Structure 1
Amino acid sequence: MFEDIVFNHWLWFVAALALIGFEVALPGVVFLWLAIASAIVGLIVLVLPDMSWEMQFVIFSVLSVVSVFAGRSYLKKHPLETEDTNLNRRGAQYIGHNYTLVSDMENGEGKIKIGDTLWKVRGEFAGKTGDVVHVTGSDGVILMVAEKLS
């Protein structure tokens, strides 16, 4: 099957570039490690051009697994920093602010309106529509509130 394909260093370098392209199109920090493994195999084949294609695939497979696990453990220990600490935590940006209830608190739950969005709130008090509440935390899409003391 692979007898007609020439497995030289250029094939591995082009594969590395294609994998980097996949990483850009489908970010997930997996294709990057595969691209590194492909580039290393390309360098090995450049030095040892008579290596069989079977051995090249074995080396690529081993390097891929090793680089993915090494990359994942590195990123777990050194997470990527972001300027927006509340990214993907929309409710966290409202903590510390005051809002007006748009519905009575029933069974510890009510609603507030922030911008054009209604947010479900939870608190340990009996608030009425129009009362001002203070957001103290968030639990997913539910904001935790306390009575705003005047």
Structure 2
Amino acid sequence: MIASLVREMGPWAWWIFGAILLAAEILVPGNVLVWIGLAALATGLLSNFLWTADWWNWEVQWLVFAGLAVVSVLIGRRWLLRHGNANEEPTLNRRTESLIGRTADLYEPIVNGRGRIRIGDTMWMVEGADAPAGTRVKVVGSSGSDLKVEAI
């Protein structure tokens, strides 16, 4: 079945397969199918040039595709590790880190190194030097869901 499909469609089978994989990446994101789809497109490009060669049968084509898929996934993973986290909002899902630099008044005094502040509509546990309620503090760090503050 595969052999007859590849023979009938020629190099277009690889182009269509690659396009389907690239479209599937949109439906099922995960940054894997895009690299495999590119390997299928590269196999289609090779097939355009090698289609008339006697040795370029469907088994060889699938072996070439498999090798290109492995290589492209490895290259893609390495590229994503280097460039994948570059976004405009580096603290988007790290709320406590996004509060560093903000100032607020202590809602509850810091006693034994622990207190509370209100930023926006949220109450936050804070760690810092003991201080009475109403003291203006600046968020200088975070530890889990607690904020580290210093009096200003």
What's the TM-score bracket when you normalise by the shorter of the two chains? 0.7 to 0.9
2:133 aligned partner: 129
**1:80 positional shift:** 5.5
Report deviation, 1:3.
4.6
Give unpaired runs (5+ residues) of structure 2. none
Go from structure 1 to structure 2 and tell me whether the alpha carbon gap of 1:22 and 1:112 turns closer, same or farther (over 3 Å shift). farther
Alignment match, 2:68: 63
- Write 1 or 2 for the structure with the bigger share of helix: 2
Task: Quote the RMSD (CA, aligned, Å).
Answer: 2.4
The secondary structure found in structure 2 opposite 1:127 is coil
Q: Deviation string for 1:81-118 (max 9, x for gaps)?
A: 32234333322332222112223334423222211222
List runs of 5+ in structure 1 lacking aligned partners: none
Measure, in 2, the Cα distance between the counterparts of 1:22 and 1:140: 37
Query: What is residue 32 of structure 2 aligned with on the other side?
Result: 30
Q: CA deviation at 1:71?
A: 1.9
Equivalence for 1:5: 5
Moved more, 20-29 or 90-99: 20-29
What is the TM-score of this pair, normalised by structure 2? 0.78
For normalisation by structure 1, the TM-score amounts to 0.79
Structure 1 range deviating more: 27-36 or 47-56: 47-56
**2:85 paired with 1:83:** no
SS of match in other structure, 1:29: coil
**Secondary structure of the structure 2 residue equivalent to 1:5:** helix
